[in-house]
Amino acid sequence: EKEADYERKPRTAMAGIEEEDEDSEALPIKLANGRIVRPRRSAPEHPRSQLLKAAEPIPVEPVAEEPTATSSRRKARAKKADEIDISAMSKKEASLFIRNYLAEAAQTVVEDPENGIDSLKRLRSITLQVRAYPQYHRLALLTQLAVFKDIIPGYMIRSLTEDEKSAKVSKEVKQLRIYEENLVRYYQQYLQTLDELIKDNEAHEITHPNQPSVAQVAVQCMCDLLVAAPHFNFRLNLLNSIVSRMSAREYTAIPQLCCRAITQLFQQDESGQYSCDAVSIISKMIKGRKYNVHIEVIKSFLHLRLREELDPNVVREGDSKGKPGDSKTGFKRGTGPMTDMGKAAHLSRKTRKHLKETQQVRKELQVADAEYSQEEKQKWHTETLKMVFITYFRILKNKASSKLLPAVLEGLARFAHLISVEFFADLLSILKQIMNGEHIHQSVDEDTVDSDEGHVLVPTRITLLCIVTAFQLLSGQGEALNIDLQEFHTQLYRVLPRLMGNADLDQSTHDDLKGQIILDAKVDSEAALLLKALEILFFKRGQVPIGRVAAFTKRLASTAMYYPPAVAVKCITLIRMLLTKYRRLDQLFNTEEAVTSGVYMAELDDPDLCNPFATSLYEIHV
């Protein structure tokens, strides 16, 4: 076949591609200043050279020659930060300017804290300039709070020693030291500003019905910093400032914020160090004010993690199951792993040295990860428990008639199993005096306390708290002590009729706190205290005389009909459990034969003398 003419022609790599004209234009591009340009390209000398040069960047006019409006505004703001005059602006312009300025400065710090740390100075400067405008002042304080919460590291920054300052370090380490030094300085200035604002504006707490005052915002900033970064510098300064404002003549928003912050600190503190510092300062504050503080200050102790950390019956994750002398690696000190014969394997000097270095590295890693050993936790929580009990005992000794007594008794009932045995006798004596009204009969209100046959009627909640505390004291390590609790049994038997008709029996409220702002503290209702006392008495302690059990069963069945429905159901369940455990109670259902002689005396407040087997348990069928 005859070949085509194009088959005989020599082929090139770029054959068939038409050359571009000299006036060819590239695609339009948009510069940073908003101007659209269409760059031109000259025709290539050769197709091959065109292919090689295609990847080269197209020359574009530099943007720096024409600064944009945004960059010029930023430079103007940074240059004239100290010359802001909001009074010359309209309200809308001032609001927009302040918001943009704060957002820009905060974003600069958050994006690159080490290079943009100086923007904190701009934030502080504008905060001081807008003090005459509360709405802008609050916004500036909250902006700094958000920035500090974001850039604060997970460790405390300590001051450098003279040797460390004179030592030669790398450029990165030097830059980091400068950043940390500036951060601590600006953080301290911010805290000083907040403290000054609180002192200056505390007298005028509310400036607008729907807006918080500057002092309230400053307290909120302090509380948020304490909860978010308790490990950072100036923790004790924050605690002193917050604790001093936990109690006031009127329990307003500021004391409520402080109590909530301390409560959150107690709940999230795993090491116990921060709680120990806070409890120490609170105890000194209570003693300095001669125990004239709000009850919420004492109730904050109920949120401590003492029961979880100090209870010997709680098995924690990571606890060693071996002997106390064993290390975490399973080796005894100076020896190797145990052999099949029960003897420690012999290790060479080199191996022992390697194990020692490994343990040292683990300790350093543990410190770097901010981990706390169980021994350190025990140390801090034990010291905290000691200060809490000292505060409780001082209140019982000096101010047993104050409104703090219910909170103290609640704390003793919760941590009773952690009290040392040597304090049992004195504590039980004080509880008996409180139950009999020997400490509070001089200052109680006539509406809540009445006299009956020469006896002072203590409020039922205080009586139940004393009984529960005494029962829990002797239910743990106090079982070995031979202490008679018959007086507490009699008081519990006497309090059952006094609870009838109480509509708030299952509510965790206090009469002395009505109409005030209170926190959601972990307190038990009177019904919960009653059922807890009965459960400890009949199911967790030793044998109880059957006559006393029958008397409690009869009176509980009679009074339960006048309790709220939910409480009555729980009482009936408890009676069923008593009938199951004590078989002799079946005599209360025998109405044909007389089990005992005499008459049942329902009004007698002594369970051992009321003769319960002379009656029947007819209330179960009602």
Give me the mean pLDDT over the 446-457 stretch.
51
pLDDT tens digits for range 543-560: 888 999 999 999 999 999
DSSP assignment, residue 25?
B
Ranking 230-239, 404-413, 584-593 by mean pLDDT, the lowest is 584-593
**pLDDT > 80? residue 1:** no
pLDDT tens digits for range 207-232: 455 678 888 999 999 999 999 999 99
| Whole-angstrom distance, CA of residue 285 vs CA of residue 219 | 18
Higher-pLDDT residue of 31 and 546 is 546
At 434 the three-state DSSP class reads: helix
pLDDT tens digits for range 298-312: 999 999 988 777 765
pLDDT tens digits for range 128-180: 888 888 888 999 999 999 999 999 998 899 888 888 888 888 989 999 999 99
Confidence of residue 447 (pLDDT cuts 50, 70, 90): very low
Q: What percent of the chain has pLDDT over 70?
A: 72
DSSP assignment, residue 516?
S
617 CB-near residues (< 8 Å, 6+ apart): 553, 554, 557, 585, 588, 589
First and final C-alpha spacing in the chain: 120
pLDDT tens digits for range 452-508: 444 567 888 888 988 988 888 887 666 667 777 889 999 999 999 999 888 888 886
CA quadruple 246, 251, 257, 259: dihedral sign:
positive
| Whole-angstrom distance, CA of residue 116 vs CA of residue 183 | 11
| The pLDDT of residue 202 | 64
Backbone angles phi, psi at 29, to 5 degrees: -130, 155
Higher-pLDDT residue of 267 and 64 is 267
| Whole-angstrom distance, CA of residue 502 vs CA of residue 526 | 10
Confidence of residue 427 (pLDDT cuts 50, 70, 90): confident
CA quadruple 83, 87, 90, 91: dihedral sign:
positive
Give me the mean pLDDT over the 366-382 stretch.
72
**pLDDT > 50? residue 388:** yes
